[in-house]
Amino acid sequence: MTIHREGYTTIFIAFLFVAVVLLTFNHIFQGQTWFHIGLYAAGLWFFIMIVRFFRTPERTLNGGDNIISCPADGKVVVIEKTIEPEYFRDERIQVSIFMSARNVHINWFPVSGMIKYYFYHPGKHMVAFSPKSSLENERATTVIQTAGGKEILIRQIAGAVARRIVTYPRVGTPEVQGDELGFIKFGSRVDLLLPLDTKLEITLNQVVSGKQTIIGRI
């Protein structure tokens, strides 16, 4: 396991924060007590959690030409037919994955293909499992078209704590299933808008793993 590049600055700031707090406390209260030990433990726990958040696990892709691979770690909180208003403007199958602060927060491409559309929307920061978050929260929408002509929309949604969405590809670039789409910091959600003829292989409330769980088949 390695540390994702998106975490370098945050980890450095967290280290400085913990160091300053502990050094300042020791300077003011120089005698070592059980409270000091508890503060050291809390500082270490906080720093380890920050480092853990940016972990990059080594995984083998479970994919294929007709397979929609899971784009994120988390829990399936929505499976429903809905009208997608931004790009398709017609009925699609929506699959939403909620990513808690404990999950890996890298996002991966569910299929291979060409990037047809990208748009970043500034917005609110409601809890990511709220139904309104798909259309009102800060979010980034990416559409990828497979070699067979099927288009899949991936929407990265910021949550109540998340304050930065990163998306790497740009329109017109080819991408490979399992490569990194982007990263969302500190609790978030990923929506997939799929063709109606997609054969789903996941269930509501299922815990899923990015690159490994099969969402469905085209």
Catalytic positions: 188
- Higher pLDDT among residues 101 and 168, named by residue: 168
Is pLDDT at 67 greater than 70 in this prediction? yes
Residue 15 domain flag: yes
Same domain assignment for residues 81 and 145? yes
Residue range of the domain that includes 26: 2-56
Give me the number of domains the chain comprises: 2
Mind giving me the DSSP string for 117-176? Answer: EEEEE--B---TTSTTHHHHBSEEEEEEE-TTS-EEEEEEEE-SS---EEE---TT-EE-
Same domain assignment for residues 116 and 168? yes
User: For 127-183, how does the pLDDT look when each residue is reduced to its tens digit (9 = 90+)?
Assistant: 655 555 566 678 899 999 999 999 999 999 986 665 678 889 889 999 999 999 998
Same domain assignment for residues 119 and 154? yes
**pLDDT score for 141:** 95
- Kindly indicate the confidence band of residue 110, based on its pLDDT and cuts at 50, 70 and 90: very high
**pLDDT score for 124:** 67
- Kindly indicate the confidence band of residue 10, based on its pLDDT and cuts at 50, 70 and 90: confident
Residue 61 domain flag: no
40-63 mean pLDDT:
85
Q: What is the CATH number of the domain that holds 126?
A: 2.70.70.10
**pLDDT score for 105:** 86
Is pLDDT at 201 greater than 80 in this prediction? yes
Same domain assignment for residues 135 and 172? yes
Residue 62 domain flag: no
**pLDDT score for 131:** 57
Same domain assignment for residues 122 and 199? yes
Per mean pLDDT, which range of 5-9, 21-25, 187-191 is the poorest?
5-9
Same domain assignment for residues 99 and 195? yes
Q: Say if CB 135 and CB 158 are below 8 A apart.
A: no
